[in-house]
Amino acid sequence: MRVRSLAWLLFVLSIGCSAANSKDGGGTPAGDDGGGFNLDGDPGGFGDVDPSTLDPFKDNDGDGYLFADDCHDGNPLINPGAYDVPGDGVDNDCNGKVDDEEQCDESLVLTSTNAMDFARGLGLCRVAKAGATGKDKTWGVVSAKLTTTDDSKLPAARQFGLQQQWGTAVKPRGGKNMVVLSTGSARTPGQTGYMKPLNILLTSNTPNKTTPPPGWPRNTAGCPAPLNKTANDSVVLKLTVRVPTNAKSFTFDFDFYTSEYIEYSCSPYNDTYVAILKSKAPLDAKWGGNISFDTKGNPINVNSDFFQVCTPGTSSTGGIKYACPMGRAELKGTGYDDGSGDDQHGATSWLQTRASVVPGEEIEISFMIWNTSDWLLQSAILLDNWQWSAEGTTVPVTDRPK
């Protein structure tokens, strides 16, 4: 967690006056009566009572952690499962250290095959134990896997990487590294394993065909349906994550690149990126499990209204007009500036998705990209800057990051 969000700042302001971390009442946080507890669970500091009235054999604040395991059994937002909100001066996660969430993506390497490194590159630094109870039940990544859409095999090594920059203009959104997944190569020109996005030779003989998630692939409304139900040359980062007990949503940033622009815009060959979330938080079935889509509810692809890094043109199918207000600078040096004509290739630039979760639950999130209908032109997705937030959202939202 590298940049504190506005939501966390608001949260910090609201919790700052109930910063009691010891059962013996040592220290007297501002707004607290010295007893050190805030039994009504209101972080505003009302209703403090004498801790000697708490039952030492119960979970007095109902946060899932017994008195013995909970350094503040009068505040459900403070316990060993919480995210230690940076800068609030509170040891939110009861590990004895104030504001100590770690940084972890400084020394990652491009060619890592350790999926936990990809969680770190995304900004998820903590590892959590499956089935942990009591004090050991912290938030964190329970498992991480690099796989295919049907979770059957490790994709080719060139299809995933941890990059410190993407071309000359695109930098990570948080920390030093970002995750890149590609149907072709997650490499830029000059790096070992790089293949041109328009290169059809490497994959055409042995396309890696797998079953996509239920309800996929699909296309933008008004554009032709995919030719088949196969996901070709897929690569997936699949994470199981225990959510902090004080988080109600998360955000992450992504940037979609494709060489389908513009010749195959609004065609059946529209490559697919999805982030499939399994959570106890409600998600309308119409989204097909996906939480990243454009303002019209269409999946993120070459037809998305977020597609703005390109050379202006009109698609031959569907008559989609592309104004390309962000120009081509973010294609430079990525390999997606190396088309058969100056009009080929494009990207969305950085976008941010927010989705709700249930505090303390285990979620599964799978970031997926695959070739749709064939395997000839390649696409890539950049992922970075995972952050937890104390505020929920009624529906998943994708927009330009603030």
* Cα three-residue angle 366-353-271, rounded to 5 degrees: 60
* Cα three-residue angle 189-193-198, rounded to 5 degrees: 60
Taking the C-alpha atoms of residue 236 and residue 367, their distance in angstroms, rounded to an integer, is 5
Q: Which segment (32-40, 86-94, 103-111, 332-340) binds Ca ion by CB under 5 A?
A: 86-94
Output the smallest distance, CB 59 to Ca ion, in A.
Answer: 4
Element (H, E) at 178: strand 178-182
Restricted to residues 18-77, the positions that interact with Ca ion (CB under 5 A) are 59, 61, 63, 65, 70, 72-73
Output the smallest distance, CB 360 to Ca ion, in A.
Answer: 12
Output the smallest distance, CB 24 to Ca ion, in A.
Answer: 16
Taking the C-alpha atoms of residue 3 and residue 340, their distance in angstroms, rounded to an integer, is 39
How many residues bind Ca ion (CB under 5 A)? The answer is: 20
Place of tokens 């600078």: 329
Which CB atom, from 64 or from 213, has the smaller least distance to Ca ion? 64
Handedness of CA 21, 24, 27, 29 (dihedral sign): positive
Taking the C-alpha atoms of residue 62 and residue 200, their distance in angstroms, rounded to an integer, is 57
| Cross-strand bridge partners of residue 314 | 321
Which CB atom, from 63 or from 255, has the smaller least distance to Ca ion? 63
240 touches 119 (CB < 8 A): no
Restricted to residues 343-372, the positions that interact with Ca ion (CB under 5 A) are none
CB atoms within 10 A of CB 392: 16
Among 84, 233, 263, 362, binds Ca ion (CB under 5 A): 84
Q: Which segment (93-101, 102-110, 341-349, 359-367) binds Ca ion by CB under 5 A?
A: 93-101
377 touches 203 (CB < 8 A): no
Q: Which segment (81-89, 153-161, 363-371, 380-388) binds Ca ion by CB under 5 A?
A: 81-89
- Does 82 participate in binding Ca ion (rule CB under 5 A)? no
Which CB atom, from 134 or from 327, has the smaller least distance to Ca ion? 134
| Residues whose CB is less than 8 angstroms from the CB of residue 221 and which lie 6 or more positions away in sequence, other chains included | 296, 298
Output the smallest distance, CB 63 to Ca ion, in A.
Answer: 4
Among 9, 41, 95, 191, binds Ca ion (CB under 5 A): 95
Restricted to residues 98-127, the positions that interact with Ca ion (CB under 5 A) are 99-100
Output the smallest distance, CB 231 to Ca ion, in A.
Answer: 41
Q: Which residue is nearest to Ca ion (CB)?
A: 70
Instruction: Give the closest residue to 264 by CA, choosing from 185, 227, 201, 317.
Output: 317
Q: Contact positions toward Ca ion, by CB under 5 A?
A: 59, 61, 63, 65, 70, 72-73, 78-79, 84-85, 88, 90-93, 95, 97, 99-100
